[in-house]
Structure formats: structure tokens, C-alpha cells
Amino acid sequence: MRIRISGLDFQYRKGPFLFKNINLEIPLDGLVVVTGNSGSGKTTLIKLIAGLLTPVAGQIKFDFNGKPVDDIQFGYLFQNPDDQIVHFNLERELAFNLENRGIPVAEMHRRVEDYLYRYDLADRRNDSPNRLSGGEKQRLALAGMMISCPGIMILDEPCSFLDSPAQVRLYKQIAALRKEGVSVIWVSKEDHEIRLADYVIELDSGEVSWSGQSDEYLKRFENSHAA
């Protein structure tokens, strides 16, 4: 699976163009990390890929072995979990996406129970999300995304609200999902997370300053710092 971006232009509300004629090919056979300084366009790019924003011009296409793929199921995690939590308790929050996709009731209950325990939220199942800590909200948002088994997961700095043990658990979960064939695009500025990647895209003020294998990127990064 690949994402092919061609001639992409984007601007917010008639302001200056953030992206102008971006051409990029992204392989989805490994973990892809999008990195760069604040304001470089990382979140905008992944929202365009997920269809949450519409380009002014250009195309974003998905293909599998050269054949176009139209039916892509995304999971998207926002930087702030409050931006995607919508229900009055944790059980309803996890059931929401499954109901929208017509998952049978018995399977829905099984998955909700599984993910409540998987993300250490079972004892909070009847609580309002407003009563959760920042880390618990992030775990709930992650569970709500992963429970629907998306083919492509897009994570916008998913560890922002997580403590160290929760971060390690997330890394292991991502590795397990990759073995199951789930494609992952991850926004991060953290060196140790970039080292987990197979492919790196670096943005700089709306331009693609690097696109390639992670080992090559890391060598370039380390050499520039050594100099």
C-alpha cells in the first residue's frame, strides 16, 4: 500500500499557502513518522491524508500494487483527546464507532469489554470522561480509535498525555498491530520515537525537507549534529 500525493496545495481561509505543489510518495508497509518543527505542517498533512481537510489543488491517492484503493478505513487520534471524546461514559464512548459501523451487538459488547481491560479503564467504565486525568483520556481516545480495527492509523503525537509506562505499552501495541498488517502514520518530534520508524518524512515550513528510510535519516541527523 502506498499514498501518492501530487501537486498538493493547501491554505487556511484564504491565508498564505502552507503547502504549494507538494509531491510525495509514502510507503505504508512499515511505521511512518512525520516530523519537523512546530508550525511546519505536520498536523495539516496528516489531516489532509485522512480526509479531514480538503486540498485547494492536487490529489491524494491510495494504491495497492499499482491498483487504486478507494475504501480506506482510518483511525485518527487528535493531539488533544478532548477533541474526540463525545459520550457521557467510557462504555458508550467505546461503543460509538462500532454502532456507526453496524457491528453486531454481541461482538460490540465483547470488544468494549476487551478494550476497557486492555487500556486499564475497566474500573472507570461508568464514569464521565470529564472525571479522567489527561493520561486516562488519552488511553480512552486510543482505545476508541483502535477498537474499530482501522486499516490505517494516524496518530498525532499520541504520547503527549501519557506517562512512561503507558508510552512503552503503546509502543508494544503499535508493534503488534503492525504485525497484523495495520499501517501506522505517527507525528512525533521525539528522537526515540523516530528511531522506531521504518520511514521518515520531515517537514520544514510547508516543504518536504526529507523523505526516506529511517536509518538514512538518522545517519543524516547524527552527522549534522556531530558537525
pLDDT (tens digit per residue) in 138-191:
889 889 888 887 888 899 998 887 888 888 888 888 888 788 788 899 999 988
CA distance 17 to 15: 6
What does the domain layout of the chain look like in residue ranges? 87-150
Confidence of residue 69 (pLDDT cuts 50, 70, 90): low
- Predicted confidence (pLDDT) at residue 108 exceeds the cutoff of 90: yes
Strands 31-36 and 183-187: what pairing?
parallel
pLDDT at 225 over 60: no
Check pLDDT > 60 for residue 226.
Answer: no
Q: How many CB atoms lie within 10 A of CB 34?
A: 28
Would you tell me how many other CB atoms lie within 10 Å of the CB of residue 25?
Answer: 11
- CA atoms of 187 and 37, how far apart (whole Å): 11
